[in-house]
């Protein structure tokens, strides 16, 4: 009798684990990229409601940006959202500025409920005759909430704008 009950539990465990859906990595990659693209475009469009919908809005949300001239560390949704909607971003996103953002070279680590993503990003803004290009490496951590990917951590590491030997000579 004991072996019958044990055997039934083992068979049930295999049956339940065998029913788990296999993770479709390509489908998950596409969904993650779509969330990242939506977050970027809604930020450019100053559509805060759309942008906010791509994020986990709790105390664990973190944004870390670093570039040649400064860095920002915002922890908790209240601080992250304040940074994203703050006055300092208004100057960069006026109606007369045309912005194109290209994300390339995606690298993923995808688990059923979380994902780690690294990609390169090139931000090009045109205002009249002025063209500014900012290159960066993006690092993001996303979590799956009720079947949808949400951003929990963003790190923007600027890779352009640093002094090189040629630029340094101009300032000497």
DSSP output for the chain? -HHHHHHHHHHHHHHHHHTSPPP-HHHHHHHHHHHHHHHHHHHHTT-HHHHHTTB--STT-EEEEE-SS-EEEEESHHHHHHHHHSHHHHGGG-TT-EEEEEEEEEEEEE-SSEEEEEEEEEEEEEETTEEEEEEEEEEEEEEEETTEEEEEEEEEEE-SS---HHHHHHH-
Per-residue confidence in pLDDT tens, the chain, 172 aa: 566 665 555 665 555 555 556 899 999 999 999 999 999 999 999 899 999 999 999 999 999 999 888 899 999 999 999 998 886 554 456 667 789 999 999 999 999 999 999 999 999 999 888 898 999 999 999 999 999 999 999 999 999 987 766 655 655 5
Q: Can you give the pLDDT at residue 161?
A: 80
CATH number of the domain located at residue range(s) 24-171 in this protein: 3.10.450.50
Q: Can you give the pLDDT at residue 69?
A: 85
């Amino acid at each position: 009798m004991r072996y019958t009950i044990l055997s039934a539990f083992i068979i049930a465990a295999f049956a339940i684990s065998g029913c788990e859906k296999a993770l479709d990595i390509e489908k998950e990659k596409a969904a993650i990229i779509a969330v990242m693209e939506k977050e970027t475009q809604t930020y450019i469009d100053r559509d805060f409601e759309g942008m906010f919908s791509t994020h986990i809005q709790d105390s664990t949300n973190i944004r870390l940006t670093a570039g040649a001239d400064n860095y920002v560390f915002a922890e908790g949704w209240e601080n992250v959202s304040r940074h994203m909607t703050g006055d300092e971003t208004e100057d960069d996103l006026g109606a007369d500025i045309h912005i194109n953002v290209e994300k390339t070279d995606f690298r993923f680590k995808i688990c059923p409920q979380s994902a780690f993503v690294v990609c390169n990003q090139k931000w090009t803004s045109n205002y009249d005759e002025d063209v500014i290009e900012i290159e960066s490496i993006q690092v993001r951590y996303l979590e799956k909430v009720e079947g949808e990917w949400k951003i929990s951590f963003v790190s923007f590491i600027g890779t352009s704008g640093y002094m090189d030997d040629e630029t340094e000579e101009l300032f000497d």
